Amino acid sequence: MTQKLPGIDAVEVDRVRLPLAGAHTLPPAAYTNDDIFVRETEQVFRKSWLPLARVDQVTNPGDYVSMDLLGQPIMIVHGHDGEIRVMSRTCLHRAAQVAEGDGNRKLFTCPYHAWSYDTSGQLIRAPLMDGAEGFSESSCRLPQVRTEVWQGFILANFDKDALPFAPQVKTFEAYFEKFRLDDMTVVRTLEFDSDWNWKVLVENFMEAYHHIGVHPESFEPAYHARDSRVPDNDGPWSILHMPAAHSELPPGLPPVEGLEDWQARDLFASVLYPHFLLGIQGSVLTWYQLFPETPGKLALRIHICVPAAYTAFEGFDHIAEEISQMVTAIHMEDIGANDTVWKGLNAPMTTQGRLSPLEKAIWQYNQWWLEQMLPEGGA
């Protein structure tokens, strides 16, 4: 049976699949349709490697960070055995949560009936369970999620059959090898609630064409839209390379040692599919962490990272605050653009638009999105 996407017809799918020179955008239903979002959750989010934290956020044994991921309360834990794990934080007894927020623990003790788990998720104490036939503490462990550490990022995948992450992004990793992403540490986190579909943000992030309209005084003078380029990809990733229009290094922190001049000056925006967004320039890594909630809502955390050694520089807090203010200012400009796009996508007369050759990364992404949403082909 030929697969179909809710609210999207075969002609619209074919337009997306055309070569870039003739390709169209995804149709509005890809962003607004409730059933599309349900399928995305199952076919895209639950089968992809999702970035949850940086290793430097759980540095010490016992450190943990908790969050909700696709409706599942989880925690990222640095075990006392040295392993970093992602696991459920829902007690195996009556489903209360054994942890909230972040911190450091030797044990995770449920506040309801005091069942206690070690940092590997193993139940070690369940009081007053005498007489419960067949019950054994040793056979109880908090469910684990597949975990992989890549370039200092902790990723998780709910799909037990998914391919490992690192082999899929070797070319991407080589492209940014000299930036030494694994040496970075989070120094600031900005939080935003966004009332649009998650793909609206991803697409905005992945093209410089909008610099001429949205960032005419901020980005466009420094990174001309017309000069942007996107290399071919060989995996679930895209890179937007924005050459600097000037020869000066960016202000603030010095670039990572060993970078070539163009690497130190230029700006890069990249996406590891589906929504692992990284902005890279000089010695600053900006990680956009997305949490899609509904077709028209997502939570966004923007983590600003720099090489760990740079945090000891004199005046670093002031420099970090300036970087944070700059990132906020740029994002506020993008919020205005995304707001008006979302209004248009929900309008009844809106149809597919034509992509510009400058939007190659969006075109690459759309091909991947269709492959995930229609794994057996179809329209």
Amino acid at residue number 311:
T
> How would DSSP label each residue in 56-75?
GGG-STTEEEEEEETTEEEE
Return the pLDDT at 249. 83
Task: Say whether both 356 and 217 belong to one domain.
Answer: yes
For 138-147, what is the mean pLDDT? Answer: 98
Task: Say whether both 39 and 76 belong to one domain.
Answer: no
For 106-120, what is the mean pLDDT? Answer: 98
Beta bridge partners of 102: 65
Q: DSSP code of 377?
A: -
Confidence of residue 3 (pLDDT cuts 50, 70, 90): confident
Task: Say whether both 189 and 86 belong to one domain.
Answer: no
Q: What is the largest CA-CA distance in the chain?
A: 76
Percent of the chain with pLDDT over 70: 99
CATH number of the domain where residue 57 is located: 2.102.10.10
Boundary residue ending a domain (140, 157, 174): 157
Structural domain boundaries, residue 95: 50-157
Quote the number of domains for the chain: 2
Phi, psi angle pair for 36, to nearest 5° = -60, -45
Task: With beta carbons less than 8 A apart as the criterion, state whether 224 and 210 touch.
Answer: no
Task: With beta carbons less than 8 A apart as the criterion, state whether 10 and 379 touch.
Answer: yes
User: Tell me: the pLDDT tens digits for 200-209?
Assistant: 999 999 999 9
Is omega for the bond preceding 274 within 30 degrees of 0, making it cis?
A: yes
For 69-95, what is the mean pLDDT? Answer: 98
Task: Say whether both 175 and 293 belong to one domain.
Answer: yes
Which residues have a Cβ under 8 Å from the Cβ of 366 and sit 6 or more positions away?
16, 23, 25, 26
Task: With beta carbons less than 8 A apart as the criterion, state whether 142 and 148 touch.
Answer: no
> How would DSSP label each residue in 181-210?
GGGEEEEEEEEEEE-S-HHHHHHHHT-STT
Confidence of residue 247 (pLDDT cuts 50, 70, 90): confident
Task: Say whether both 83 and 217 belong to one domain.
Answer: no
- The two tokens of residue 49 are 């490697």
Can you tell me the distance from the alpha carbon of 109 to that of 99, in angstroms, rounded to the nearest whole number?
8
Boundary residue ending a domain (110, 140, 157): 157
Task: Say whether both 322 and 211 belong to one domain.
Answer: yes
Task: Say whether both 224 and 288 belong to one domain.
Answer: yes
For 356-378, what is the mean pLDDT? Answer: 94
Asked whether residue 378 is assigned to any structural domain, the reply reads no
For 95-117, what is the mean pLDDT? Answer: 98
User: Tell me: the pLDDT tens digits for 205-236?
Assistant: 999 999 999 999 999 999 999 999 999 999 99
Task: Say whether both 42 and 56 belong to one domain.
Answer: no
Beta bridge partners of 240: 269
Closest CA to 354 of 8, 15, 11: 15
Task: Say whether both 210 and 286 belong to one domain.
Answer: yes
Task: Say whether both 133 and 272 belong to one domain.
Answer: no
Q: Is the pLDDT of residue 2 over 60?
A: no
Task: Give the helix/strand (H/E) hosting 80.
Answer: none
Task: Give the helix/strand (H/E) hosting 19.
Answer: none
For 259-285, what is the mean pLDDT? Answer: 96
Phi, psi angle pair for 255, to nearest 5° = -65, 160
Asked whether residue 201 is assigned to any structural domain, the reply reads yes
Can you tell me the distance from the alpha carbon of 218 to that of 213, in angstroms, rounded to the nearest whole number?
11
> How would DSSP label each residue in 209-268?
TTHHHH-TTTTTTTS-GGG-B----SSSEEEEEE--SSSSPPSSSPPPTT--HHHHH-EE
Asked whether residue 285 is assigned to any structural domain, the reply reads yes
CATH number of the domain where residue 347 is located: 3.90.380.10
Asked whether residue 83 is assigned to any structural domain, the reply reads yes
Task: Say whether both 189 and 220 belong to one domain.
Answer: yes
Q: Is the pLDDT of residue 250 over 80?
A: no
Boundary residue ending a domain (136, 157, 178): 157
Asked whether residue 104 is assigned to any structural domain, the reply reads yes
Task: Say whether both 54 and 197 belong to one domain.
Answer: no
Asked whether residue 4 is assigned to any structural domain, the reply reads no
Return the pLDDT at 379. 64
Asked whether residue 5 is assigned to any structural domain, the reply reads no
Closest CA to 302 of 215, 205, 206, 172: 205
Asked whether residue 379 is assigned to any structural domain, the reply reads no
